Amino acid sequence: MGGLPIHCCHPSLANDNLSSLAIAIELIRKLQRLPQRRLSYRFLFVPGTIGSIAWLAQNTEKTKNIKNGLVLSCLGDKGSFTYKKAREDFASINAIMAKILFDQPKARIWEFEPYGYDERQYCSPGFNLSVGCLMRSPNGTFPEYHTSADNLDFVTPCALEESLSILLDLITITENALYPVSTSPYGEPQLGKRGLYPLSPNISKADHTKNDILDQLCLLWVLNLADGKNSILDIAIRSKKSFRAILSAVELLQDADLLKLYSDKQPNAFST
Residue 96 sits in which domain range?
2-175
| Residue that terminates a domain, selected from 141, 175, 209 | 175
- Does residue 112 share a domain with residue 39? yes
Dihedral sign for Cα 229, 234, 239, 243, please. Answer: positive
Q: Please tell me the predicted confidence (pLDDT) of residue 147.
A: 93
Backbone angles phi, psi at 69, to 5 degrees: -150, 160
Mean pLDDT along residues 134-152: 94
Dihedral sign for Cα 222, 41, 31, 88, please. Answer: negative
Mean pLDDT along residues 53-70: 95
- Does residue 216 share a domain with residue 90? no
Cα 113 to Cα 97: distance, rounded to the nearest angstrom: 17
- Does residue 99 share a domain with residue 40? yes
Q: Which residues contact 90 (CB under 8 A, 6 or more apart)?
A: none
- Does residue 193 share a domain with residue 171? no
Number of domains in the chain: 2
Q: Which residues contact 142 (CB under 8 A, 6 or more apart)?
A: 15, 77, 79
| Residue that terminates a domain, selected from 145, 175, 205 | 175
Q: Please tell me the predicted confidence (pLDDT) of residue 202.
A: 53
| Residue that terminates a domain, selected from 175, 191, 213 | 175
In this structure, are residues 176 and 191 in contact, taking their beta carbons and an 8 Å threshold? no
- Does residue 113 share a domain with residue 159? yes
- Does residue 245 share a domain with residue 193? yes
Q: Tens digit of pLDDT for each residue in 247-272?
A: 999 999 999 999 999 999 999 888 76
Mean pLDDT along residues 18-28: 95
Q: Tens digit of pLDDT for each residue in 152-195?
A: 999 999 999 999 999 999 999 999 999 999 999 999 999 999 98
Q: Decide if pLDDT at 207 tops 50.
A: no
Q: Kindly report the pTM of this predicted structure.
A: 0.89
- Which one, of 142, 140, 122, 141, lies nearest residue 132 by Cα? 122
CATH number of the domain where residue 228 is located: 1.10.10.10
3-state secondary structure (DSSP) of residue 93:
helix
- Which one, of 163, 165, 168, 96, lies nearest residue 131 by Cα? 96
- Does residue 28 share a domain with residue 100? yes
CATH number of the domain where residue 11 is located: 3.40.630.10
Strands 131-135 and 82-84, how do they pair?
antiparallel
In this structure, are residues 235 and 173 in contact, taking their beta carbons and an 8 Å threshold? no
Q: How many CB atoms lie within 10 A of CB 55?
A: 19
Q: Tens digit of pLDDT for each residue in 99-129?
A: 999 989 999 999 999 999 999 999 999 999 9
Q: How confident is the model at residue 213 (pLDDT cuts 50, 70, 90)?
A: low
